[in-house]
Amino acid sequence: MELSNGVLIHYATAQQQAADLTVSLTKRQLLGLLVVGQSDGIDMSGDASVLTKLVNLTDAPDPDFAVVTA
């Protein structure tokens, strides 16, 4: 994966490299993690500091963001 200019991009590859962290969560848990940093009930195996680094790269959501403009 590549994180560049605020976009996370996944590339298919034949290379088998172990993940630093594996996370299993529901959509509701993902939203809670991104909005308020709540990780209750999220199944993690590996280095949990990786998740903290990723969450710290996200911006706070803008409730006034115009998805559709006229």
Looking at residue 2, what is its pLDDT?
82
In a domain, 7, yes or no: no
pTM for the full predicted model = 0.58
3-state helix, strand, coil in the chain (%, to 5): 25, 20, 55
Look up residue 46 and give its two tokens.
């590996």
**Residue 47: pLDDT band with limits 50, 70, 90:** very high
In a domain, 41, yes or no: yes
| Total domains in the fold of the chain | 1
Range of the domain at 25: 20-49
In a domain, 13, yes or no: no
